[in-house]
Amino acid sequence: MRIIRDYQFVNETDRGASAAIGNFDGVHLGHQSVIDMARGAAPDAPLGIVTFEPHPREFFAPDTAPFRLTNADTRAHRLEKLGVQRLYELPFNATLSGLTPRRFAQDVLADGLGLRHVVVGADFCFGKARAGTARDLQGFGAEMGFGVTIAPLLQTDDAQVSSTSIRNALSDGRPRDAAAMLGHWHRIDGPVIGGDQRGRGLGFPTANMSLDGLHPPKFGVYAVLIDVLEGPHKGSYHGAASVGVRPMFGVNKPNIETFIFDFSGDLYGTNLSIALVEFLRPEEKYDSVEALVAQIDRDCARCREILAAP
């Protein structure tokens, strides 16, 4: 997959794509449906995605609480696995956000990227002040020489599939409901960072990872699947993870600490992918370290049962 970040300087080989447009946060089933429509609209064209970095909400409200399900690297990795060949990851800045809907369609989609076909969701808005609608884009496409397909919003039995619905499920401690909308487990990806090694002292050494910039799941203990993505320990494992601020040990920045079952090795700096499978319990503060260790033992036994189930 090729990543193109400047719509004003695009190689001829990167033009002519059939592309889906959106933020693709989480790359959920609705996004996957839109991508499949782009694939089918012009099967002989490169399959593309037009997205934005940073997320427009981060640009307009930089002090907003972290809300993203995936960072840019994770999003790109998941899109590549879906067969995307051209990722147009456009810098979202004052210039881009100031384009009128017509100018966005002409300057970016038609003249800049030279798209052959575009697929957007029914709720798609674009251009300055989000003034353009999906129907407007169809009109611009007919005028400017690219096709436009409007994809209906995807619905599950329980909810409309959206990044917001997935965030709500994670905030409520319902990772299986989030997975049903994502089409895969919700994962937290990133490098293992240095910690205070309290877990090691308790007999449960953990791989610590940052939650910076990401929507935090409900704080507490989870059964998790772990993929070590590189290095001598590369592979898949089972484990238990604690998401939160570790109330037994003062005021701390939220992170995720993962204890990998039946594992021994140094993972500092190694990139991991942690899949949240089931929420066990909220974070708690115990009267003693011994009580905490006993609870961790029970948590790990329960996680092993959950992950062993078919």
Catalytically active residues, by annotation: 257
CB-based contact 248:293 (threshold 8 Å): no
Q: For residues 79 and 87, what is the distance between their CA atoms, to the nearest angstrom?
A: 8
CB-based contact 22:31 (threshold 8 Å): yes
SS3 content of the chain, % helix, strand, coil (to 5): 35, 25, 40
* Residues sharing a CB contact under 8 Å with residue 132, sequence separation 6 or more, in sequence order: 100, 101, 102, 104, 105, 125, 126
Nearest to 52 by CA among 91, 99, 7: 91
Strands 18-21 and 235-244: unpaired
DSSP 83-148: T--EEEEEE--HHHHTS-HHHIIIIIIIIIS--SEEEEETT-EESGGG-EEHHHHHHHHHHHT-EE
Q: For residues 31 and 47, what is the distance between their CA atoms, to the nearest angstrom?
A: 14
Strands 132-133 and 18-21: unpaired
